[in-house]
Structure formats: structure tokens, C-alpha cells
Amino acid sequence: SETLFYEMADRLAEDGWRDLGYKYINIDDCWSAKQRDAAGQLVPDPERFPRGIKALADYVHARGLKLGIYGDLGILTCGGYPGTTLDRVEQDAQTFAEWGVDMLKLDGCYSSGEEQAKGYPEMARALNATGRPIVYSCSWPAYQGGLPPKVNYTILAEVCNLWRNYDDIQDSWDSVLSILDWFFANQDVLQPVAGPGHWNDPDMLIIGNFGLSYEQSRSQMALWTVMAAPLLMSTDLRTISPSAKEILQNRLMIQINQDPLGIQGRRIVKEKSHIEVFLRPLSQAASALVFFSRRTDMPFVYTTSLAKLHFPEDAVYEVQDVYSGKIISGLKTEDSFSVVINPTGVVMWYLSPMALPAQPWHVVRQQAPG
């Protein structure tokens, strides 16, 4: 009901979330009445949202936050509520704008591939025509298998701000791993298409719920950050545990996630020992490294060097451990080092150059194998 959203807005504003960048509070499916009104407009369920969506948007805006809402390009939403058929696209865009909505997630249940190919770009035009800035999240590629030739990412990046490529996340570690596997198996396709204003969306963070251990929660946060994923929490902020809150409110993590270059990271190493290494290039020649263990037995000591990870020769870095805050100063590219990674856990590093070689890092990055 609306009470949940009013209370969640208070938590975002008062408990430090908003100031870290958690600004959107998004309503998912099932918010509307089962029928449109006499004028054909979507209306909120009168029992669960008695004050209406505009009143909620006003409340959210007064706290320095933004409101998101859910729609579906089809006869019905996935939950069986009124969908947005092609003849309703402009009307619904206008309704959302008038209510003061700041973000729209447009799902794709009960629609054909042809309707999606027409409707998703039409909704983008309709939202823009309202004159209100509305972030546009599309489920389009997820319904088309997420990959070319069925999915044209060039068109998608022009139409949508973020898009769901793959399955819905469930509250389980298996689900997190299946999403990771798909994204990094297809990174050659997916990584180049992400950037400021157009993002791959591997779905929500489930940190703070029931399915992930502490180590797994840290892993999801780090890996979603390396993927330059939109960080959309899905947990009750009224009852969240201190440990989950600490992970979600890690300042350095969020700074990395919001890096202005907006480059999505890649998996650069996959070892027989079930250790994987991910790299995300950041602005000012910095970078983020994640050492991830798929092992389930015991902590693993992983030894490597920045040279083995294709960092430029003769560079020197200051390294900060994103979770512990510990700093290693003066790490040279050729220096061997070891990290201890807990089972299903991560070690995440933020590396900033203290001295760089003559050849700029971005050139090296593009030439680096893998």
C-alpha cells in the first residue's frame, strides 16, 4: 500500500541513502486498479493508494527523492493489471508525467515481438514529448533473448536509458551466479553497449533479504558495481540489518559505481582454481579490480601481479581495499601480491596511479588481450 512507499521515502531521506545517491523509489507491478476509468486512463488502486500517485510523488519530491512507476507494453501487466497497448502509449506517458513520475519501467508481458519493436521506441518518443525528464527502463531485450541478431543494441541505446537483458533475479545465490554467468559469457556483446545514459541492467540487489550470506552479499555489490549496473535495492529499509546497510552504503563502492566514464567492466581472468578476476577502468587512469572466489570450501590465497593482469609497465599504484579500507602504497606493476578470498566472496581493490608510464592507460586497455 501507499504507506509502505511513504515510510520507505522517509528511510531513504533520513538514514543516509539519499545522500549517497539512492534517489529513486520505484513502485513495481500491481499498483493500479483492475480497470481503466471512463476516459481510458490508468488509475491507482483506490484502497491501496487512496491519496493517488501524484500525492505520493509530491511527498517523495519534497524529500529530495524521485518516484518511479511500472507499466507493461501489452494487454496486461505480468501481474494481470491493465497494460499499455499501442493505442494507449501517448495517453499513459502523459498520465505518468502529470503525476510527477521520474522513472518508468516498461515490462513486456502479453505482447508480441512486433508490438515491442514498435511500442518501446514509441514510448520513448511519448515520454520525451511530455517535456518531463523521465528515466526509461525497458524490458525489451529480455523478451528477445538478450543477444543479437534479435536484439539491436545500437537502437536500444538510442531508445532506452537502461534495459533488462536477462531473467528476473530471485532471492538466491544460484540466481546471482546465473546472471553473472550470462553477462560475462556474453561480455564481448554487452560491455561495449553500456555507457552514460544507456546501461545494461542485471536486475536488483537482493542484499538485506534472505538468500545471500554476508560474503555473497559483498560479492553481489562488488560485481554489480564492476558491471556498471544501476544499483536498485530490493529490501525493507525499516528493518535492514547493520551489516547489509554497511555493504549498501559503502561510499567508495558507490563512487566507483557512479564513475563518470561509465565504462562497464570485464572478466579478465578465469582460473582452474575457481578464482575469477574482473576489471573496470575508471576516470583519471584509476581502475577497480574484483577477485572473486566461486569456491565453497575454504579461504583461498590467490597470488598474481598487475603485470599478469595487463596493467601498463613501469606504473606505480596506490591501492585501497574497498571493504576493509586498508591502503597499499607504491604497488608496482611487476610486484607479486597475494589476496585471501573467502568462499563465494570477493576482495575488491580501487587502484589510483601514483606514477604512470609514458603510454596512456586507455591505449593499453584497448590493446590488452582478453
Point out the residues that are catalytic: 107, 168
Residue 264, SS3?
A: coil
Measured CA to CA, the distance from residue 91 to residue 98 in angstroms comes to 11
Nearest C-alpha neighbor of 343 from the set 297, 303, 288? 297
With b meaning 16 or more CB within 10 Å and e meaning fewer, what string describes 201-225? bbbbbbbbbebbeebbbbbbbbbbb
Contacting residues for 318 by C-beta, under 8 A, at least 6 apart: 327, 328, 329, 330, 331, 351, 352, 353, 354
Cα dist. 149→12, 32, 144, 153, 259 in Å? 41, 35, 10, 9, 30
* 168 Cα distance to chain centroid: 13
Contacting residues for 167 by C-beta, under 8 A, at least 6 apart: 142, 175, 178, 179, 182, 203
Contacting residues for 290 by C-beta, under 8 A, at least 6 apart: 222, 223, 226, 265, 277, 278, 346, 347, 348, 349
Q: Is the dihedral of CA 176, 182, 185, 186 positive or negative?
A: negative
